[in-house]
Structure 1
Amino acid sequence: MIKEEFMDRYRHSLSHILAKAMIEIFGKEVQYAIGPQIDDGFYYDFVLPRTVSTDDFAQIEQKMHEIIKRKEDWVRKEVSRAEALEIFKDQKFKTELIQDLPEDEMITVYNTGDDYIDLCRGPHVDNSADLSSAAFKVKSVSSAYWRGDEKRGIVLQRVYVYAFPTKEELKAHLDMIKEALERDHKKIGAALDLFMFDETAPGMPYWLPRGWKMYQALLKYSREIQERHGYTEISAPLINNKKLWLISGHWAHYINNMFMVPGVSGYLRADADMAEIAESATDENAPTKTVKMRAGSAIYNRDEIDTMAAKPMNCPNAMMTFKRTTHSYKELPIRYSEYDVLHRKEKSGQMNGLFRVQEFRQDDDHTFVMDSQIKDEIADIISIADEIYSTFGVTYRAELSTRPDDFMGDIEVWNKAEADLKSILDEKYGEGGYEINEGDGAFYGPKIDLQIKDALGREWQCGTVQLDFQLPHNFGLTYINEKGEQEMPVVLHRAIYGSLERFLGIVIENFKGMFPFWLNPYQVAVVPIREEHNEYAKKVVKALEDAGIRVEADYSDNNMKTKIKGFKNYKDPYILVLGDKEAEENTVSINIRGNNKQVHDVPLTTFVEVCKRLNREHTLELAQEFEA
């Protein structure tokens, strides 16, 4: 049996042990719902007579071990729908699951000993003794909605358990979790004053001065590379009328993730009741009648309220930009890069620091090409990804995502597009050198996703290249080909960072806040030892600023050690300590991040040139010249 199959059977069986343990601890009135395995273990959802706390975790684990030691047989039985309903008549969640099955479907149940039975397809172990080497630990408990539907109002307690075949594997995973907590970008972001969140704008980060400098450095690097590859940057409206989203197809496929903005044809006074306007504008089921709104004496019909939406992606705006004029084949490819703010609605439970936000930017691009240019253009995009990811010291793998169930357009066009991408991937990575993710393409075309791996071995989907024959058709886009005839271009949607917010979250955790020199919010800190050294310190600061180095200085009357400690807390790469000798000789003494030794007598001009080189080369490591 391969490891993945073993892990599924192992964890699935342990979830039944957990459910039996919860019944024995909390009583037979426990309602048990579902208990699937997940990447690092499993969970099970319950309705319990009281809330589970961390104080209960040890008792739950002990009870699970006790059940395993009983060496009870696991018996699989096939039953009819009616028999299953009778078996689980006191379990409302199991009953609902059974009622959703076809009338004639054969149902399987598993007995674990004589006193516990569960509805399950299996497979499972033959006897509890098979789990005697089980290495597991209760991770946490949280609230969950039955079938993920908050409207039904059924709240369960979800108990998560880490589970691995051996104690060594469990320990390694727990060590990784501990390391991940130390790298948590939310924790580091707060400590370094990079960003914050507030309940008045859920899932929408406030970028603080230090974090915004880092954000701008990331943008600057992206722009530099794109300019070298012939990209032209545009910017477009952040809010568009519903009409645009209907044309693009996003209204049908993405409406639940869009923020609606009511618009009124006419002038509204500042004292208008905007809550009533919003309700009127977004209620599609409301009868078409006059809607009175407190806006002076003005009364507007519902038909006069135009639905607007904050853009969740840049694609339609790029289409409109291309459409504004006639293009010749000689102009292609045309590459429109765009970094505008995007908004996507998320459920509150799905938001997670910078990893899942409702407001973000992407390093978006929409490139308009002829069929004959697709291969070369995608090859160039992959070369950009290679350069950017290597700059951050991360590796990646490629996935081909194919036609989803809700695809738009002709199936033959899709087949051709998928074949084109497969050919490109075969040539770049070799046949079998990438994965195929069936059914996960965008609704308008197949795509290549680039999954990067961080310092903890976790994978993140960041880069994407999407081949699109649909949006050019929807927007009626054409160019004049070599024969003087109108022809439809193909569009390549492309991002390398993906969401800049998410990418920065990954970077923060990957580097544990110890960023490469070129990316660090402030690259150099200046510490004059006493007040009389401030004048020379200001000279040093100006020399660095003139060279494009991000520098901060502490001219306060605090003692030197306090100043140095403050900058070390911010993890500045270089802290320059300036006293009489440095001022007299036009040199600097350097405290290097991660190095307890101080380097003396470095000419200021030499230090400036080294810093310029580090920015120019985007190196991961600090300068070797100063490693004494």
Structure 2
Amino acid sequence: MSHRMESVSKPADEAPEKQEGRTAIEVLRASGVKSPERIVAVRVDGVLRDVSCPVGSAEDVAPVYLNSEEGLDILRHSAAHVMAMAVRSLFPGVKVTIGPAIEDGFYYDFDYERPFKEEDLPAIEERMKEIIREDLPFSRKETSAEEAIRLFGGEGEAYKVELIEDLGEERVSLYTQGDFTDLCRGPHIPSTGMIKAFKLIKVAGAYWRGDEKRAMLSRIYGTAFADPKALKEYLRRVEEARKRNHVKLGPQLGLFNTYEEIGAGLVVWHPRGMMLRYLLEDFEIKEHLKRGYEMVKGPEILKTELWQKSGHFDNYRENMYFTTVDEQSYGIKPMNCLSHMLIYRSRIRSYRELPKRYFELGCVHRHERSGVLHGLLRVREFTQDDAHIICMPDQLNDEIKGVLAFVKDVMGIFGFEYELEISTRPEKSIGSDEDWELATNALKRAMDDNGLPYEINEGDGAFYGPKIDVKLKDALGRKWQCATIQCDFTLPERFDLVYIDQDGQRKRPVMIHRVILGAIERFIGILIEHYAGAFPVWLAPVQAVVLTVTDRNTPYAEAVLSGLNAAGVRAKGDFRNEKLGFKIREAQMEKIPYMLIIGDKECEEEGVTPRLRSGENLPFMKVEDLVRRVQDETRRRG
């Protein structure tokens, strides 16, 4: 049963099954549909159904093919059922929980007497292949919830019983292949033999229903594709992603580390990582100042009463930390907006001053569950390139478009393509329906004015307003959420933000919450993987390393190093009494852009022979020419 398919009873909008006696696939075959052997499911009146469901005429049914997005999703969900069947046959006593299709694959969570290991995967794969060769049909059955509870209870499947009880439905649907029955809404592929290309990827731990107080389960991840060629390409990308993994590259390159003694989700920046942060933050500051932002800074703890006033306490406190000072409760800030509003409110503002654009590289803390912490991508302390634009309602469109232009400029510098989506009002939120409609329409209008395509992500906005989410794509085509633009009519009301208009009347401004890179930590993690640690020259913590051939070259090499540093080139020296080839290999492992070889010729002619980290050798050149080359690449952000 998948998260996506938790309602296992018949959907409310599903049309009653037609009783003419012919299945969907029979009707489609009779109509001469193209490639019926590639059809995994059908749409009947817009609802996904199994190919075996009864239908009327071919006009009532639309085929869903294996290589379509929906088809792959169904294939992967079916592969998850096959995996669960294989695990249960190999590991008696295992409890089967939830197994959804996810982006690029599937997983299933199991409760067993011991955690599963990577070494278990080959045997599970082999058993899955046997099940696939048997070409077992997937059959759907509807039954009463009581009967399903008796079935799963008799098998000792307590997790399934809990799921059925929580659904509160009178009837549920079950899917069976061979001797394995699972609770599921479906649909599924016609039979196991349709799975032609699959692979189990890894094992991880996961709490039951994501609750740290519940049982720790073993999660097995896998993937499936329409054909072996697509699977091979995917596995190639997975291997490339493994090589680029920032959790390994970060410590290897001397950028950052985490330490158990300090605590989970807390990052320690080493010298090179701190230099990378400085370069990124300095770039950010200059880009913001160019666009009329003013730099501000608020404290990291604010009285709890303020968080109650803003709505964070009621809507966000499970993600916050609190402390007590002099018997006064304080909230450690998870966001920077409150201080920015108080800065605005510190005096009366005229309409002539607007918009006000406040920018802060603000350190925030959020209580993330230990199970989701991961390297730099999910941490408990991070710095946001946070800004709040407070403007008149008639300035809102231009300001949103200005932020979108800012995002475009910055993502272009790093070579990122990106997609856009608008996230609408969540169930847990504050503010009136009217304000939410105004804010959502403002975001849509700015996107439409710029001719930007976007998707709607229903119910995923911030609790105080809708937002535009920017999902960038890295060198491997993976998507990452970074920049966001949130439109807020509610907090200006709660904090009584006003301006005096040209007629001397008090009016309410609108506030835009926005980040460009998002969390600096997360963005650096993405950059490490995007560049595979080989940062462009302008971002490289060390731009050049001076390498000596012999000890007698050291005095001149030291003078070269001193001159490079004085000229603003970030350089280091390696004057150890080691073979040159060894030192070059080390520099290449550190992904330093330039290796400057100093031998007898370089000493005599007062120059350097550069070697690039790609392995390309450049001709001998004067030190000042090398400096100009590095400075030019830095200016061009190359």
TM-score normalized by the length of structure 1: 0.87
Q: Match for residue 570 of structure 1?
A: 590
The answer as to whether partners of 1:194 and 1:207 remain within 8 angstroms in 2 is yes
Q: How far 1:49 sits from its partner (Å)?
A: 4.6
SS class of match (2:342): helix
The answer as to whether partners of 2:206 and 2:371 remain within 8 angstroms in 1 is no
Q: Match for residue 631 of structure 2?
A: 612
Distance 1:537 1:63, change over 3 A: closer
* CA distance in structure 1 between the partners assigned to 2:574 and 2:115 by the alignment: 51
Distance 1:324 1:136, change over 3 A: same
* CA distance in structure 2 between the partners assigned to 1:606 and 1:155 by the alignment: 60
1:475-504 C-alpha deviation (Å, 9 max, x unpaired): 111122111222222111111110111111
Q: How does 1:501-540 map to 2 (within 5 A)?
A: 501-540=521-560
Q: Match for residue 297 of structure 2?
A: 235
Q: Match for residue 209 of structure 1?
A: 271
* CA distance in structure 2 between the partners assigned to 1:605 and 1:51 by the alignment: 60
Q: Match for residue 170 of structure 1?
A: 231
SS class of match (1:64): helix
Q: How far 1:178 sits from its partner (Å)?
A: 0.6
1:275-328 C-alpha deviation (Å, 9 max, x unpaired): xxxxxxxxxxxxxxxxxxxxxxxxxxxxxx222222111111111111112221
* CA distance in structure 2 between the partners assigned to 1:563 and 1:85 by the alignment: 67
Q: Match for residue 106 of structure 1?
A: 171
Q: Match for residue 436 of structure 2?
A: 414
1:217-259 C-alpha deviation (Å, 9 max, x unpaired): 1111111111111111111111111122112211111111112
Q: Match for residue 458 of structure 1?
A: 478
Q: How does 1:432-471 map to 2 (within 5 A)?
A: 433-471=453-491
Q: Match for residue 338 of structure 1?
A: 360
Q: 2:319 aligns with which of 257, 271, 287?
A: 257
The answer to whether structure 1 residue 322 and structure 2 residue 344 are counterparts is: yes
Distance 1:88 1:516, change over 3 A: same
The answer as to whether partners of 2:349 and 2:499 remain within 8 angstroms in 1 is yes
Q: How far 1:516 sits from its partner (Å)?
A: 0.4
The answer to whether structure 1 residue 16 and structure 2 residue 77 are counterparts is: no
Q: Match for residue 159 of structure 2?
A: 93
Q: 1:423 aligns with which of 431, 442, 445?
A: 445
Segments of 5+ residues of structure 2 without an aligned counterpart are 1-63
Q: How does 1:48-63 map to 2 (within 5 A)?
A: 48-63=112-127
SS class of match (2:318): helix
1:151-179 C-alpha deviation (Å, 9 max, x unpaired): 23x23322222222211122111111111
* CA distance in structure 1 between the partners assigned to 2:586 and 2:217 by the alignment: 46
Q: 1:190 aligns with which of 251, 267, 279?
A: 251
Q: How far 1:559 sits from its partner (Å)?
A: 5.2
Range 70-79 or range 410-419, more displaced: 70-79
Q: Match for residue 220 of structure 2?
A: 159
Q: How far 1:51 sits from its partner (Å)?
A: 4.3
* CA distance in structure 2 between the partners assigned to 1:168 and 1:560 by the alignment: 43
State the AA in 2 paired with 1:101.
L
Q: Match for residue 279 of structure 1?
A: none
Q: How far 1:561 sits from its partner (Å)?
A: 4.3
SS class of match (2:517): coil
The answer as to whether partners of 2:528 and 2:535 remain within 8 angstroms in 1 is yes
Q: Match for residue 102 of structure 2?
A: 38
Q: Match for residue 565 of structure 2?
A: 545
The answer as to whether partners of 1:197 and 1:204 remain within 8 angstroms in 2 is yes
1:395-452 C-alpha deviation (Å, 9 max, x unpaired): 111111111112211111111111111111112234xx11111111111111111110
Q: How far 1:521 sits from its partner (Å)?
A: 0.3
* CA distance in structure 2 between the partners assigned to 1:55 and 1:316 by the alignment: 51
The answer as to whether partners of 2:118 and 2:202 remain within 8 angstroms in 1 is yes
The answer as to whether partners of 1:547 and 1:612 remain within 8 angstroms in 2 is no
Number of positions where the alignment pairs a residue of Structure 1 with one of Structure 2 = 570
The answer as to whether partners of 2:272 and 2:541 remain within 8 angstroms in 1 is yes
Q: How does 1:367-386 map to 2 (within 5 A)?
A: 367-386=389-408
Percent of aligned positions that are identical:
41
The answer to whether structure 1 residue 245 and structure 2 residue 264 are counterparts is: no
Q: How far 1:349 sits from its partner (Å)?
A: 1.0
Q: How far 1:50 sits from its partner (Å)?
A: 4.7
Q: Match for residue 297 of structure 1?
A: none
SS class of match (1:587): coil
1:356-405 C-alpha deviation (Å, 9 max, x unpaired): 01111111111111112112222221222111111111111111111111
Q: Match for residue 286 of structure 1?
A: none
The answer to whether structure 1 residue 309 and structure 2 residue 331 are counterparts is: yes
The answer as to whether partners of 1:543 and 1:608 remain within 8 angstroms in 2 is no
* CA distance in structure 2 between the partners assigned to 1:125 and 1:565 by the alignment: 51
Q: Match for residue 384 of structure 2?
A: 362
The answer as to whether partners of 2:315 and 2:429 remain within 8 angstroms in 1 is no
Range 221-230 or range 45-54, more displaced: 45-54
For the aligned residues, what is the CA RMSD?
Answer: 2.0
* CA distance in structure 2 between the partners assigned to 1:450 and 1:524 by the alignment: 34
Q: How far 1:556 sits from its partner (Å)?
A: 4.5
State the AA in 1 paired with 2:532.
K
The answer to whether structure 1 residue 127 and structure 2 residue 191 are counterparts is: yes
SS class of match (1:415): helix
Q: Match for residue 91 of structure 2?
A: 26
Distance 1:557 1:45, change over 3 A: closer
SS class of match (1:517): coil
Q: Match for residue 4 of structure 2?
A: none
Q: How far 1:579 sits from its partner (Å)?
A: 4.3
Range 375-384 or range 514-523, more displaced: 375-384
* CA distance in structure 1 between the partners assigned to 2:136 and 2:549 by the alignment: 74
The answer as to whether partners of 2:435 and 2:490 remain within 8 angstroms in 1 is no
* CA distance in structure 2 between the partners assigned to 1:440 and 1:75 by the alignment: 35
State the AA in 1 paired with 2:158.
K
State the AA in 2 paired with 1:13.
S
Distance 1:530 1:54, change over 3 A: closer
The answer as to whether partners of 2:493 and 2:508 remain within 8 angstroms in 1 is yes
